[in-house]
């Protein structure tokens, strides 16, 4: 598909904004997928190309968070492995099932997550004792959330972040950093499937990917310098925007 310079530049800007937002609170897909569709790209190619550009952002954010000392990837290997396995299962399963029921369920779950976070002002402000063994957590939630991301996707970062805060006792800054490693895992799995299918549009994906790299670096650096209150407000805004976007797509 041939695209002009102006279109590629607009996609670059969309990737930059999405990378910034996604590195802080997730939800970049509510910007990038509509941008790709608006550029005239067919839906299946838009979803495939989105995984290329989002992988660029996730990799940048994860690497920067590791550099800034907000996570140690070596300690998260169990979650990495089981996120990978879960995403593979989800990517295979989605080819055989309708996502209609799941779309309704995810909107309800995101509303519950939003309300819970809104009315828990101390949630994620500081580290707390964990409520579940780390190994068990990463096996169970790696499989579940990885499967969900491979099967459907929207809200994955939000589910990871809140799970890490509530069950492992991390503060929001640490949870945000760790979430990006798991997002990267499932993004790469889905990208590999789409590459095999030949659906990725390289020029559009790389243009947005360049924006993602810049935006993700700036966003992840900002997180390291800001207080957790800032991340909480940003997180609530992104979850609310995701709920609205999914609801409009589903019911309007």
Average pLDDT, stretch 193-208?
A: 90
Least confident range from 63-72, 92-101, 105-114, 201-210: namely 92-101
Mean pLDDT over each residue of the chain, to the nearest integer: 85
Average pLDDT, stretch 48-64?
A: 91
Instruction: Please report which confidence band the pLDDT of residue 125 belongs to, taking 50, 70 and 90 as the band edges.
Output: low
Instruction: Please report which confidence band the pLDDT of residue 72 belongs to, taking 50, 70 and 90 as the band edges.
Output: confident
Most confident of 71-75, 84-88, 98-102: 84-88
> Burial code of 38-67, b = ≥16 C-beta within 10 A, e = fewer?
ebebeeebbbbbbbbbbbbbbbbbbbbbbe
Give 25 or 207, the one with higher predicted confidence. Answer: 207
Give 110 or 64, the one with higher predicted confidence. Answer: 64
Q: What pTM value is reported for the model?
A: 0.82
Most confident of 49-53, 118-122, 193-197: 49-53
Q: What stretches of 68-133 show up as alpha helix (H) in DSSP?
A: 77-93, 100-118
Handedness of CA 75, 230, 184, 19 (dihedral sign): negative
């Amino acid at each position: 598909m041939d695209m002009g310079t102006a279109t590629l530049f607009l996609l670059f800007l969309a990737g930059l904004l999405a990378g910034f937002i996604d590195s802080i609170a997730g939800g970049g897909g509510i910007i990038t997928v509509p941008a790709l569709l608006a550029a005239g790209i067919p839906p299946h190619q838009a979803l495939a190309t989105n995984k290329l550009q989002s992988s660029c952002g996730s990799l940048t954010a994860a690497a920067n968070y590791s550099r800034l000392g907000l996570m140690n990837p070596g300690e998260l290997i169990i979650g990495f492995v089981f996120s990978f396995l879960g995403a593979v299962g989800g990517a295979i399963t989605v080819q055989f099932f309708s996502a209609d029921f799941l779309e309704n369920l995810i909107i309800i779950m995101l509303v519950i997550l939003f309300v819970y976070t809104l009315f828990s002002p101390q949630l994620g402000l500081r580290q707390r004792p964990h409520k579940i063994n780390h190994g068990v957590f990463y096996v169970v939630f790696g499989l579940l959330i990885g499967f969900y991301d491979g099967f459907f996707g929207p809200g994955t970062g939000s589910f990871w972040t809140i799970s890490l805060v509530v069950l492992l006792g991390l503060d929001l800054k640490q949870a945000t950093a760790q979430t990006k490693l798991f997002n990267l895992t499932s993004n790469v799995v889905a990208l590999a499937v789409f590459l095999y299918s030949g659906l990725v549009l390289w020029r559009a994906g790389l243009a947005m990917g360049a924006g993602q790299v810049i935006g993700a670096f700036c966003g992840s650096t900002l997180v390291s310098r800001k207080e957790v209150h800032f991340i909480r407000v940003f997180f609530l805004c992104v979850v609310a925007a995701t709920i609205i976007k999914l609801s409009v797509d589903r019911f309007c």
